[in-house]
Structure 1
Amino acid sequence: MKLRLNYRTSSPHVLQAMMNLQKSDSSSSIDKVLHELIKIRVSQINGCAFCLDMHAKDLLKLGDYQDHILLLNAWREAPIYTEPERAALTLAEAVTRISENGVPEDVYDQAREAFDEKTFMELILAINTINSWNRIAISTGMFPGCFD
């Protein structure tokens, strides 16, 4: 594999803009495990190997979450996910695939039952941030280890 373009060196202003977005996302009150699960699930949907690799490793640094990673693609059938995790994952899938059905009312209601307004908006920011990172990584041909 070959990196198409190193945006970090060719367009530092893009990196800076993304780092500002990431800083806002990272300062949220979202549980760290849930935050990584969202990043992994969105990256699965988008097919971003670079981000999948990074965030699976980040989640494993938080504890023994191997089963959470292995079962995430089929999370609806796996009993290990909490109700708030399920609400956030449902929301993450809807926002990532927003052109298909928008965010249906039942998805919004489920998320709002689990999260207050502030946390709901932090979830939206987290979902949009990882979607943006995925799109940069995929467009520029990033892959696990490409910057090693």
Structure 2
Amino acid sequence: MNQRVHLGQAAPELYQAVLALEQLMSDRVAKAGIDKGLAHLLRLRASQINQCAFCVRMHTRDALASGESSDRIAMVAAWHESGYFSLKERAALALVEAITLVADGQVPDAAYAEAAASLSSEEILAVEWLAVVINAWNRIAIASRYPVEP
């Protein structure tokens, strides 16, 4: 395999800007009252869709450290079929999925309407920014082929 450019090392000023965006987004998520564990599950779901092994492992560990159960972590990939998530959590998961899959339907009105029926404007704002930022991180890790070893 060809050696990849490590985006963080090659352009540390850009990497630092994404870290600053991460902090601003995390502050917004906390201000909106979104539980830390749920925020990691939302990041985990986007990372699963994007097949970002580095971020899947990291947010699984972070979710556990935040008090999420192993059952909820295991079920996030199949949240549609499970009873583990509240209406608000399901709306947030659906919105993160729609934003992650933006090329497939442009965040359908139905996904946004579902979110608006269960989440406040502040919660929607926080979830949307969370989706934007985790998708950026997924692309950084995937493009750079961040190693994921046991």
TM-score, structure 2 length as denominator? 0.90
Q: Any conservation in 2 of the 1:3–1:143 contact (CA below 8 Å)?
A: no
**Identity of aligned pairs, percent?**
36
Counterpart residue number, 1:31 = 35
How many Å apart are 1:88 and its aligned residue? 0.6
Does residue 136 of structure 2 align to residue 143 of structure 1? Answer: no
Q: CA RMSD in A?
A: 1.9
Ranges in structure 2 where 5+ consecutive residues have no aligned partner: none
Q: Partner residue of 1:4?
A: 4
**After superposition, where does 1:49-128 map in structure 2 within 5 Å?**
49-128=53-132
Equivalent residues, number: 146
List structure 1 segments (4+ residues) > 4 angstroms apart after TM superposition. Answer: none
Q: One-letter code of the match for 2:6?
A: N
Task: State the TM-score, normalizing by the size of structure 1.
Answer: 0.91
> Is contact 2:42-2:93 (8 Å) kept?
yes
Q: Would the aligned equivalents of 2:38 and 2:63 in 1 still touch at CA under 8 Å?
A: no
Question: Which structure's relative contact order is higher, taking Cα pairs within 8 Å and 6+ residues apart?
Answer: 1
How far did residue 2 of structure 1 move?
Answer: 8.7
Equivalent positions of 1:12-27 (< 5 A) are 12-27=12-27
The superposition leaves residues 76-114 of structure 1 with CA deviations (integer Å, 9 ceiling, x where unpaired) of 111111111100111111111111111222211111122
